[in-house]
Structure 1
Amino acid sequence: MSRIALLATATVGLALLGAVPATAAQASTTDTTVTCSPFALRAGLSTKVCVEVTGDSVELYGQIALAGPPSPGYPIPVKDLTTTLTGNVVGGASLGHLVKPVRFQATTTQVRGVGGTVPCGSTVHAEFTSAEFGSPSGPVTLDVPVTC
């Protein structure tokens, strides 16, 4: 390889290396952070609530999963649940309230549909319940600061 070709290759390589930090810095301004509550047993299932934060935008979701592996030889559980997902800015506006029937069939299921834009520095309160008919269920809750 000639000296000119080697010098040109090295120059292009250095230019590309210089571009990487700028790209990485731009990506960090729109990162999404997901925070979830510890799971709780509700209606015999593992239930938790999560908050996704991207800048000043938040989306809440509840998640339902099996509490453990199914027992061999037993049918996979099918449960008809009523779920409720609620969110608000602590001391401020509501982010929504969603009541949704869900048929759980052993596959991890998410319930979404509550969220919005919140002021930087505020705290979001999320609450999720899942209950079978005739079995009251307490909520799982989570408070997440939105730092932007």
Structure 2
Amino acid sequence: MNRIALLAAEVAGAATLLAVPAQAGAATTTATGTVTTCGASGLQAGLATKVCVEVTGDQVQLYGQVSLAGPPTPGGPAPQTKELLTTLSGEVVGGASLGSSNGRTLFTASTVQARGVGGTVPCGSTVHGSFGVASFPWNPAPVTVNVVVAC
């Protein structure tokens, strides 16, 4: 991506963040009874990021997702590979930690996910998830989600 396209993608992403309420999320249900809820997208390290919670009964799994903030410039150079430092964490609000996961991944253009946080939670509990991405010279600006586990 050239600098103008990257700047345009960042501005578009920032405008999207301002237009979406902080706790907004989309929920989907799969055939297995799993409900997936994602928090609002954010820009980190020049990329689009979000954190999601998959709930199946009283079992929850969190994941963070990284993708391009916009399409590559047509006819432009291929996106450069970035080394990303990721941090995913989850907790039951007012209760136990569901753990945290720190990782490194190489990102070029395909969407990647960070997983490894989750567990069993009491019905009616609220799960809070956070996902941060850093890549030199950008510091993380974590995205979050809060989900009530209905069971």
Other-structure match for 1:57: 59
Aligned residue pairs total 121
Quick check: 1:83–1:130 contact (8 Å CA) kept in 2?
Answer: yes
User: Which runs of 4 or more aligned residues in structure 1 lie more than 6 Å from their structure 2 counterparts after TM superposition?
Assistant: none
Give the superposition deviation at 1:38.
Answer: 1.3
Other-structure match for 1:36: 38
Other-structure match for 1:76: 79
Q: Percent same amino acid among aligned pairs?
A: 59
TM-score (norm 1): 0.78
Show structure 1 runs of 5+ residues with no match.
1-26
Show structure 2 runs of 5+ residues with no match.
1-29
By percentage of residues, which structure has more helix? 1
Give the superposition deviation at 1:133.
Answer: 2.7
Give the superposition deviation at 1:97.
Answer: 0.8
Say which is worse superposed, 108-117 or 68-77, in terms of deviation: 68-77
Quick check: 2:40–2:144 contact (8 Å CA) kept in 1?
Answer: no
1:87 is aligned to 2:90: yes
Other-structure match for 2:130: 127
Give the superposition deviation at 1:86.
Answer: 0.3
* Distance in 2 separating the partners of 1:47 and 1:82: 13
1:137 is aligned to 2:140: yes
For the residue of structure 1 that corresponds to 2:86, the secondary structure is strand
**Larger radius of gyration between Structure 1 and Structure 2:** 1
TM-score (norm 2): 0.77
* Distance in 1 separating the partners of 2:41 and 2:144: 10
